[in-house]
Amino acid sequence: MKRFYGVSSIPTTKLFINGKTVESQTTEWIDLYNPATNELVTRVPKSTKAEMDAAVSSAKEAFKSWSKTSILTRQQIMFKFQNIIRQNMKSLAENITLEQGKTLIDAEGDVLRGLQVVEHCCSIPTLQLGETLAGVAKDLDIVSYRVPLGVTAGITPFNFPAMVPLWTIPVAITCGNTHVIKPSERDPGACMMLVEMLQEAGCPPGVVNVIHGAHAAVDFICDHPDIKAISFVGSDTAGKYIYERGSKNGKRVQSNMGAKNHGVVMADANKENTLNQLVGAAFGAAGQRCMALSTAIFVGEANDWLPELKNRAQQLKVNAGNVPATDFGPVISPEAKKRIEELIQSGVDEGAKLLLDGRGLVVKGYEKGNFIGPTILTNVKPNMRCYKEEIFGPVLVCLSADTLDEAIEIINSNPYGNGTAIFTNNGATSRKFVGVNVPIPVPLPMFSFTGSRGSFRGDTHFYGKQGVHFYTQVKTVTQLWRDSDVTHSKAAVAMPV
Ligand code: NAD
């Protein structure tokens, strides 16, 4: 199967409109560089207004027939889609490593976690069941259906270029909607490959369209009257803006945003496992996961484990994502690297101790890459910038607490709410946490991704039952079929009592 990436001598990312890959007519392009080398990989178009209009028109037209296909037809497409993704896991991962920088194995994980959503959508006939009730009143039937909304849209971030588009596309379309997606302009390749695979699985033209760009494309989605719902995943700034602008325009919006996930380390935990999990969850993917465990609170005697934590972190191998045995790769851009290094320095300036400094790392053979080694700041206090801001890099900030209650107080005072974990062997203590001896408690697709507080805006969450609820509206039909012919002599004008 021909793929977009790497087959063309002109390094441009195409649009996907009405089932066709289209070269943009734009004059404005965003250069996309390999984070490990800073070599140009492709140029991503800022779609023109006409191209974005064409994408929505195509989705609107496709909705007329797609929404009437049988749910079993849509299910069958998902079965085929999941099979094609599985067969192309490696090429998807290669594209992710090239454009995003994460290691090949981690990139496969990125695809797999999205693939699981596709697999869950294979059970859409059950997921989309409506409700009814026997004997609601004599001869009266009330039935509720979950029906699609129309044209829906996705706006996705750079850190999971396959997984997050797969949080939106399969759920939206198996529910009978059509979809316009704007993947991150920093790594849209995986999304392009996925929509091509979806077409190969039998999805008709127009059901999913891909546009590219930055703010103008986002505004277009927020404002277009034919788009009924927006799924957004990304930073706080963009998420709040999109939630507000989309909602003002009468759209349903779900907005998954930034995080500052805390892990509480109790001295009764399994030390070996805890330190390994902490290191994996803080530094994996160079800390560029919304569920990265970026903040650790060591309670009481667990503070003595810090030297060993440093020792383990130091052993991680930082290199280009395609180099075998690499633990984590570069961060996304030189700007991100600069920002992360500044945040590390701000911690030092505000009185934190730099237990491990990953700044200034040069990787042999990849001297121009955006690398930062594992970094640990200790003695961090909640008023410091490095604690308050999401760093989104390979930096673990460590706080200390005398008691579990004090640790919980710190967590509850933090505005974010994506995931918190505790490491303990005490069942009673663990009840208060969403992750127990699991550093990254991302819910599997049969559940929903239930971020809260400052990490989420909206009512219904991504994927699982809540994802189906987000992408459907309830239509309730009330019908009266009398068993025997009853003729009323007079109109009933009062409410029945
Ligand atoms: P980002 O907000 O920069 O970009 C996300 C999308 O929004 C992109 O498509 C981008 O084009 C658009 N965008 C960016 N800035 C915008 C603005 N000012 N106005 C309108 N649109 C804008 O996010 P990112 O850097 O690509 O991704 C990293 C962020 O995403 C982190 O904060 C991370 O925690 C978050 N994230 C959250 C989850 C979650 O489920 N909560 C999952 C993954 C990533």
> Using one digit for the tens of pLDDT, what is the confidence trace for 239-266?
999 999 999 999 999 999 998 999 999 9
Q: What are the beta bridge partners of residue 436?
A: 422
Give the pLDDT of residue 9: 64
**What is the distance in A from the centroid of ligand 1 to the CA of 362?**
28
Q: Which two tokens stand for residue 221?
A: 């989605």
Give the pLDDT of residue 10: 60
Q: Which two tokens stand for residue 324?
A: 């075998």
Q: Give CA–CA dist 160/383, Å, rounded.
A: 30
* Spans of the chain, pLDDT less than 70: 1-10
Give the pLDDT of residue 2: 38
Give the pLDDT of residue 3: 42
Give the pLDDT of residue 176: 98
Strand order in the sheet with 456-457: 20-22, 15-17, 208-210, 178-182, 151-155, 227-233, 252-256, 456-457
Q: Which two tokens stand for residue 303?
A: 């503070």
Give the pLDDT of residue 349: 98
The residue type found at 85 is I
**Residue with the two structure tokens 């289209």:** 22
Q: Give the mutation target among 235, 288, 335 for probing the ligand 1 site: most ligand atoms within 8 A of CB.
A: 235
Q: Give the mutation target among 28, 100, 159, 261 for probing the ligand 1 site: most ligand atoms within 8 A of CB.
A: 159
Give the pLDDT of residue 341: 98
The residue type found at 76 is Q
**100 within ligand 1 shell (Cβ under 6 A):** no
| Residue 252 CB partners (closer than 8 Å, separation 6+) | 149, 228, 229, 230, 458, 470
Give the pLDDT of residue 439: 80
| Residue 175 CB partners (closer than 8 Å, separation 6+) | 124, 128, 146, 148, 468, 471, 472
Would you name the residues annotated as active-site residues?
290
Give the pLDDT of residue 45: 98
Q: Give CA–CA dist 327/318, Å, rounded.
A: 6
Ligand 1, atom 22: closest residue by C-alpha: 238
